[in-house]
Each structure stands twice: as C-alpha cells, then as structure tokens.
Amino acid sequence: MLKNTGKLAGKTLFITGASRGIGKSIALKAAQDGANIVICAKTADPHPKLPGTIYTTANEVEALGGKALPCTVDVREEAQVNAAVSEAVQKFGGIDIVVNNASAISLTPTLSTDMKRYDLMNQINARGTFLVSKACLPHLLKSKNPHILNLSPPLNLNPVWFKNYLAYTMAKYGMSFCVLGMSEEFKDQGVAVNALWPRTTIYTAAVDMLMGEQGKNYSRKPEIMADAAYAIVTRDSKASTGQFFIDDEVLKSEGILDLTAYACNPEYKDKLMPDGFLDSPDSTPGAFFKAVSKS
C-alpha cells in the first residue's frame, strides 16, 4: 500500500460520487493527510440496496483527521454544482483538487439502449465532468498545485470498444476528451488535468450489482485507485498533465511492485478480471465487459 506523505494537509478536494466506492476511498486516503474533503453525491438518505451516504462518509473522513463538507449534488444539475462549489470556497477558502468520479454505466448494444439510459450516461459522465470542472476552474487557477483527475479510460479507438456498448463508450470517452482538451487549454496556467483507469475490475457496489458476489474474487479493492489517485494529485501540476494513467503503472512508478494486498481475494491475484478499454494481445474486449454483456 502507498504510504501517505502529508502533502494534502490543508488542501481542499472536491470529489463527485464520493459517498461510496472509489470516490469514497479517495476521500479517506486524502483525509489521512488532514485534507478538506467536499463530499458530493446524490445519496443524502440511506439507499435501500447500497451502503453509505454523504454524511456517513463525512463521519469517516473526520475520524481519520480530515475536514468534511457533505453536499447533496446531482452533477446533471448546474445549480446544485455551483452551490456546492460556492459552499466549499466559503468554508475552506478555495479548491485545489477536483476528482470527477461520478459515473453511470449500461453495457448495452445500440438497439437495446433506450434514450433515457443514453441521456443519463452522457449527462452524468461527459456533461457532468465538464460542468464540475468548469465550475471549479476559477478557484483551481488560484491554487498553488491544482489538479483535475477524471476517472476515465485512455482514448482507444479500437472498434471493439464501440461495437457492443456504443452509448457507454461515448459517455466515458466524453470524460477523457475533457482531459485531452482541458490539459492543453490550461497547461500554461499550471492546472494538471489527467485521467486514471483501473487495470482490473474494482469491487464496488456497481460491480456487485452487475456481477454479484462472484465478482469480488476477480477484482481489486478500491484502495488501489485511491493510492494511485493520491500519487497523481500530489505531483507537481506543471510537470504532469494530459496523461491517461493506469492504476498499477502509477503504483509501480512509486516503487510498489507487489500488488497482492490490493486483491479482494489474494488467492485469486493471478486470476483478476481485466477492465475494459485496455487492449489484450488478441484485441478482445476486457473480461469484465464480456461477462456483464452476457449477464
């Protein structure tokens, strides 16, 4: 596991989808440094099937030494995003890091994708990422080491990633296009804009819903993404931007070569399920996408 360095002490992180899963793990990692965490998510009241709310996450952040600001935010709603940004700046004095984690997924082919689901994915993934970044940028430009980190894949134009789930690929690549464009747009002003994507499936509530308990054995813990995110946003923003990082590569660059501790079941560490958008030698889709598409 990657050790904390204290570099995020007093820094303010604005994290979407932070009530559970990867977003929450990133929040808890930063909290150990004494960071300020703006916890943005729709879940203010307990969900009947999913654990965690913005308030339970806030309690965990503060128990670890961080400061928390829970905000009810649907990233599709501009007024809610702007209100959360204003509240964050008022409480903490600014914003240093944005993590665009909120996302929606539906691995369906074109004829099986209803427009309501298409709109949901594109409004949350692509539009939501653009909106949150845009709202936070005036404050990031005042930070000494500003970062935007989108949890989105590298831009891989292999048609296999478009063939069976075009709507989802378009929505996720919309997040990645934000990295491509904003990193160049704000490079001279010192704002780092990068993407982070997992090598394997990460066991979250979404994976559990898609694959059930069996998915856990073949997945890594959200902590691997949190550690990789921590490594990225503590780097010099002027020296690291426009990159599409993969979690295990980031950790290896930090000297962590044994990733066994990140496996949900260490006995399956060599049987982990590859995530999507990363080509295998035979150019076939990731096992996770194939498994979910058949379920």
- The C-alpha atoms of residue 116 and residue 121 are separated, in whole angstroms, by 9
Residue 45 pLDDT > 80: no
Mean pLDDT of the chain: 93
What pLDDT is attached to residue 150? 98
Most confident listed range (43-47, 248-252, 284-288): 248-252
Neighbour-count burial for 93-112, b at 16+ CB within 10 Å, e otherwise: ebbbbbbbbbbbbbbbeeee
What pLDDT is attached to residue 208? 79
Q: Is the pTM of this model over 0.75?
A: yes
What pLDDT is attached to residue 287? 63
Active site (annotated) includes residue 168: yes
Q: Please compute the mean of the pLDDT values over residues 262-272 and round it to a whole number.
A: 92
What pLDDT is attached to residue 286? 61
What pLDDT is attached to residue 211? 77
Token pair 């979407």 in the structure block, residue:
16
19 HSE (CA, 13 A, CB side): 23
pLDDT tens column, 48-85: 667 789 999 999 999 999 999 999 999 999 999 999 99
Residue 282 pLDDT > 60: no
The β-bridge relationship of strands 67-72 and 147-150 is unpaired
pLDDT tens column, 174-207: 999 999 999 999 999 999 999 999 999 999 877 7
Q: Active-site residue among 165, 168, 230, 262?
A: 168
pLDDT tens column, 212-245: 777 899 999 999 999 999 999 999 999 999 999 9
Q: In the chain, what percentage of residues exceed pLDDT 70?
A: 94
- The C-alpha atoms of residue 86 and residue 80 are separated, in whole angstroms, by 10
